[in-house]
Amino acid sequence: MAVFGRALMKKEFMLDSSKTFLNQGSYGNAPRRVIECRTGYIRMMEESPDDYFRWKNEDFWLSMVQTVAEFIGSDPQNVVFVQNTTTGINAVIRSLNFEKGDGILINSWTYGNVKNICAYAADTRHVDLYYVDIPFPLKSVDQILTAYEEKLSKHQNIKLAIVDYISSMPPALMPVKEMIALCRKYDTLVLIDGAHTPGQLPLHLDQLGADFYAGNLHKWAFAPRGSAVLWIRPEFHHTIFPVVTSYYDKEVVYKNFFYQGTGDNSTYYSTAEALKFYQEIGGYDKISEYCSKLALDAANLLVKKWKTSLYPMPDNMLPPFMRLIRMPDHKWFPTFKTSADDRKNFCRDNMSLMKTVWERFQIQSVFISIHGQSWCRISASVYNEIQDYEKLADAILTLLDEEK
Amino acid sequence: MSFGAEIRKDFVLDSKTIFVNHASCGALPLNVYNHRLGLVQKMESSPDVWFRLKSESMWKESIDTVAEFLGSKPSNLVFVKSTTVGINAVLRSLKLGRGDSILISSWSYFAVKDTCHELERQQGIEILYVDIPYPLKSKEQLLELYETMLQKHSSICLVLLDVITSVPPVLLPVKQLIAICRKYGKLVLVDGAHVPGHVEANLEDLGADFFTGNMYKWAYAPRDCAVLWIHEKFHGAIMPPVTGYSFYGEGEMWRNYLYQGHGDFTPFYSVGRAIDFYRGIGGREGILDYCSSLVTKAADLLVTRLRTFHYPLPEDMQTPLMRQVALPKLKKYPPVIVPPGEVKRKIHNMMTLMEDILNRFGIMCACVSVDNRAWIRLCASVYNEISDYEKLADAIATLVEEDEEIEV
């Protein structure tokens, strides 16, 4: 079993080992051997493109789908590859037959891209958009479930609910099973945004009870950027088409997603190598044990050093490998007045702080404002160790000191 | 410039195979390949910096470079992964529906046909075809066919025109076709998949509403690098098929195309290196000087050796770098017979024949069935020489011998 922490970073990852990376959650990081595996496919493609596209491509696809389907607890026939969760969600929404007056339900923690997709659907297909404003602070899971029940019972025209499995901002483990049950009660289709889940949670998609699921392999499952899965319940196999039509088969769903012109599917074909790495370093049990503890210890450290607090949410909603910590009160970490239902200003990147912390301290982390308050989102991955977060704590304290 | 076997070593292409099908997938120079991998390395060593701090400037710089190459204003140009994506972006954004028609042709690329029929299913748009006759006698005959369709069907909202079709490979009188479409007040989307690097492009002067073309075919960029040109008046209206981070109405158009969720966009950022390579080996003039005469010789060689004929086309509609030559009738590899009037599935790949030629003779060439006959669609690129086509002729001759019967 591999040793976790900086030794693993140096041995296996392409990240610059003289710097500190606390943001596996945003872009993912694939180990060198996985990138090399991918390069091998690109090389094969370039050495003999016709051979690759006409005769090898489909076999690679089918073999990889088999491997990945097992990892996510699904029958291979229900799974196709897409570039990322955003693309998968676009495919579902653009394929479903919405009529004027049909509703889509999202909430304030729904990912930015997904909010945009829904807004576009509302604008172009005359869908009604419904929104649950998640209270701040959030005291219990029941507050979310009550708000959902209220919306679903009041608006029987809601055709689809998009539910995060683990939301991005704030990072939270949502009560997904209960939310699916509610949607079933009101005959609403459920699309799970599982961007953060492969590798962070064990998945059993065939038993989850959703209609659609999209999740990234390139975040926590160490695949190269540009590999994600779309899971489609069997009754929808002939309904869901990719956003770009290239091949057009009305019978076999994967063929439409697989054949996207002479595009580069090498990221998908490297997923087996990524999952092999994942198992080799300990698999879900060992990785979870290490990263969960690290996330907990890191959060405690930062809260103590900055004399602040965690984003207020129930303990049973804390995601395994991420935390959101309040920044100290200071002009570096701006706050502004807003209300819980101010949707436009809900979440904003603090780019200048991210840039400063990177340039001055060589630390990559996410600084953001939510509800007008300033926060830092940390990720704990297999190449991180507690010293990384000590560096982050000290960097911020240095900035505070300088401004006195 | 030393073309043929000499420059072959500068490509990633496998040295054991003869490639005479540049048109389908392109071929990547080692130089551009290594540059792209270098960018991947940079991306992986510091992803946040790459995506948050570097992406936008790399995009803009690459757009400026490719805009200059294609005679386009940078503000009208965005990257897309392929022509197919560009076409999907336009057609899916236009909000056409029941009562509207799109005009394509029997020579339209199969993915274009499929996209149109998917929209027919989803939105009730009618798909109309110009059924191009065999043989096509002249440019004028083609122009007349378009004029007739446009006169007859006032429901046509948009015409999808090729500059160079894939199968059969034909150079269409696109400016004259656009003029006819304008006369009838129709929107024009130009499928220029084969244009960059092959024929001169001056997108601002083309007169179209939309144009999309691949950089990875004749302009040596890595796969997943193409452009979409959008007339200014449509900047707010044409959204990429994937809605991502940004959203129209809230900023410049190009951001919608850059922010497509996370992925590897290094092919876009390698386009400058590809264009440098293209210019370094002689640019369009130098390349066509070698390749155009080579493909003509190659086609003549095959026609003579195999005792068949060229795909019948007016002389002024031959493309610079591609030709189509009839195959002798082979019992083992029959063409697909298409009933008259059937326009949707007129053109087919002959996969078994292509596979056998590759596996038995180590030659990769495109064999197609169109107009009820089997053909080879030939390409000449800078790494080809006449001996490639001699070997191809030998291979076909062997198949013919084995097949017992020859007909001319």
Least-confidence region, from A134-148, B139-153, B257-271: B257-271
> Which of residues 52 through 91 in chain B touch A, CB cutoff 8 A?
52-53, 81-85, 88
Cβ–Cβ gap B84/A19 under 8 Å: no
Cβ contacts of A53 on chain B, cutoff 8 Å: 24-25
Locate B271 and state its tokens: 């386009």
Mutation target among A85, A229, A244 for the B interface, most CBs of B within 10 A: A244
Could you give the maximum distance between any two Cα atoms of chain A, in Å?
Answer: 68
Helix, strand, coil share (%) of chain A residues, nearest 5: 45, 20, 35
- pLDDT band, very low/low/confident/very high, at B407 (cuts 50, 70, 90): low
- Measured distance CA(A207)–CA(A210) in Å, rounded: 8
Cβ–Cβ gap A48/B14 under 8 Å: yes
Q: Provide the terminal-to-terminal Cα distance of chain B, rounded to the nearest Å.
A: 40
Q: What is the pLDDT of residue A2?
A: 57
Ramachandran angles phi, psi of B376, nearest 5°: -105, 130
Question: For residue B7, what are the CA distances in angstroms to B1, B15, B280, B387?
Answer: 9, 12, 12, 15
- Measured distance CA(B5)–CA(B2) in Å, rounded: 8
Segments in chain A below pLDDT 50:
1
Collapse the DSSP code of A47 into the 3-class scheme (helix H, G, I; strand E, B; otherwise coil) and give the result. helix
Collapse the DSSP code of A150 into the 3-class scheme (helix H, G, I; strand E, B; otherwise coil) and give the result. helix
Q: What is the pLDDT of residue A340?
A: 62
Q: What is the pLDDT of residue A402?
A: 86
Does residue B369 contact residue B350 with C-beta atoms inside 8 Å?
Answer: yes
ipTM: 0.70
Locate B53 and state its tokens: 């701090």
The answer, for B30 touching chain A at a CB cutoff of 8 Å, is no
Tell me the pTM. 0.82
Q: What is the pLDDT of residue B406?
A: 52
- Which residues on neighbouring strands pair with residue B191, listed in sequence order? B162, B212
* Burial (0-12, 13-18, 19+ Cβ within 10 Å), B55: middle
Mutation target among A24, A127, A225 for the B interface, most CBs of B within 10 A: A225
Model confidence at B248: pLDDT above 50: no
- Measured distance CA(A229)–CA(A80) in Å, rounded: 6
DSSP alpha helices (H): ranges in A126-175? 141-154
Mean pLDDT confidence for B81-90: 94
Q: At what angle do helices B271-280 and B283-306 cross, to 10 degrees?
A: 70
Mutation target among B264, B345, B354, B363 for the A interface, most CBs of A within 10 A: B264
- Interval B321-364: pLDDT, tens: 999 999 999 999 999 998 887 888 889 999 999 999 999 999 99
Cβ–Cβ gap B244/A86 under 8 Å: yes
Distance from the A90 Cα atom to the nearest Cα atom in chain B, whole angstroms: 6
- Measured distance CA(B71)–CA(B77) in Å, rounded: 10
> Which DSSP string corresponds to B246-277?
S-TTSS-THHHHH-SSS---HHHHTHHHHHHH
Could you give the maximum distance between any two Cα atoms of chain B, in Å?
Answer: 68
- pLDDT band, very low/low/confident/very high, at B59 (cuts 50, 70, 90): very high
Collapse the DSSP code of A235 into the 3-class scheme (helix H, G, I; strand E, B; otherwise coil) and give the result. helix
- Measured distance CA(A92)–CA(A402) in Å, rounded: 50
CA B22 from centroid of its chain's CA atoms: 11
Q: What is the pLDDT of residue B384?
A: 97
- pLDDT band, very low/low/confident/very high, at B408 (cuts 50, 70, 90): very low
Q: What is the pLDDT of residue B278?
A: 97
- Single-letter residue type at B297: K
- Measured distance CA(B376)–CA(B327) in Å, rounded: 7
Q: Which of B49, B245, B261 is nearest residue A87 as measured by Cβ atoms?
A: B261
Does residue A263 contact residue B81 with C-beta atoms inside 8 Å?
Answer: yes
- Which residues on neighbouring strands pair with residue B369, listed in sequence order? B348, B374
- Measured distance CA(B254)–CA(B57) in Å, rounded: 12
The answer, for A83 touching chain B at a CB cutoff of 8 Å, is yes
Cβ–Cβ gap B263/A226 under 8 Å: yes
Place of tokens 């990072």: A171
> Which of residues 93 through 152 in chain A touch B, CB cutoff 8 A?
94, 112-113, 116-117, 119-120, 124
The fraction of chain B above a pLDDT of 90, given in percent, is: 85
